[in-house]
Amino acid sequence: MKKFLLIVNCLILALGNTGGPLMMRLYFIHGGKRVWLSAGLETAGFPLMLFPLIFSYIKRRRINHRPPPSTTTVITTETTTTKLNIISMKLPLFFAAAFIGILTGLDDYLYAFGVARLPISTSALIIASQLGFTAIFAFILVKQKFTAFTVNAVFLLTIGAGVLAMHTSSDRPAGVSVRQYVIGFLTTVAASALYGFVLPLIELVYKKTKQPLTYSLVMEIQFVMCLFATLFCVVGMIVNNDFKVIPREASNFDLGETTYYVVLVMNAI
């Protein structure tokens, strides 16, 4: 069962990492201009995590109410139950997850800002350089050792990003100035660096927590992170008046109003 869940998780992650940037770019190239909205949609699907959390709680509850194994000397029908909390996360861990969630919200904004100004191939390669930042911060925060494969991947991705930086005029989207392209390039690099810091930071939180690291606890941490990342972007949307502009932007969307909302929903999922 654990291997099956791991495979499903990897498939969903692969689908999200490949389809997500395409859907976001689709929003921008057909008339979408709300960066905060696009950033918030990156984690707005967090309520879907309630389903595995509920399933996990039901499973834990059943295990908690199982009768003890019978013995040859004593026969009993009593069940042993202990207090089972719906939420297993403790307050210090909650605050740590909330802080990481705010960092994730900032990273979402930087990434959306870059995708709005870069072709998808360029932004995807820059984001791939996150591996280098992750390796560096993992070495600093959790003492993760460098390997030959890591060094080779970091070197190749860094060279690729450098080549892209020197060809700003050849792959610049129509209507995007050199200045906008460079700013988009730099913000995407910043997003890559920040997320490269966030991932080892999550690992550090896992190591430092005094609670048993269970599936439910990990899902709760992810839920809180996505919740606060979304709230961070919602505040930005309110300040930027995005909620007022959405109906007008939908009516002017190149692919139609219905498709506009479909694109938003798919971005969130």
Amino acid at 25: R
Query: Is the model's pLDDT at 38 over the cut of 70?
Result: yes
Structure confidence by residue, pLDDT tens digits, 153-193: 667 666 665 665 555 455 566 667 788 888 988 999 899 99
- Cβ(41)–Cβ(264) below 8 Å: yes
Query: Is the model's pLDDT at 252 over the cut of 80?
Result: yes
User: Position of tokens 């909302």?
Assistant: 261
pLDDT of residue 167: 53
Nearby residues of 26 by Cβ (< 8 Å), 6 or more positions away = 263
Average pLDDT, the chain: 82
Nearby residues of 40 by Cβ (< 8 Å), 6 or more positions away = 105, 108, 230, 233, 234, 236, 237
More confident residue, 11 or 69: 11
pTM of full prediction above 0.75 = yes
The closest alpha carbon to 164, from 125, 192, 113, 202, belongs to 125
Q: Is 264 exposed, middle or buried (0-12, 13-18, 19+ CB in 10 A)?
A: buried
pLDDT of residue 262: 92
Query: Is the model's pLDDT at 195 over the cut of 50?
Result: yes
Report DSSP letters for 200-212, one per residue. HHHHHHHHH-SS-
d(CA 211, CA 199): 20
d(CA 134, CA 144): 10
In Å, what is the CA distance from 6 to each residue of 2, 11, 53, 218? 6, 9, 16, 14
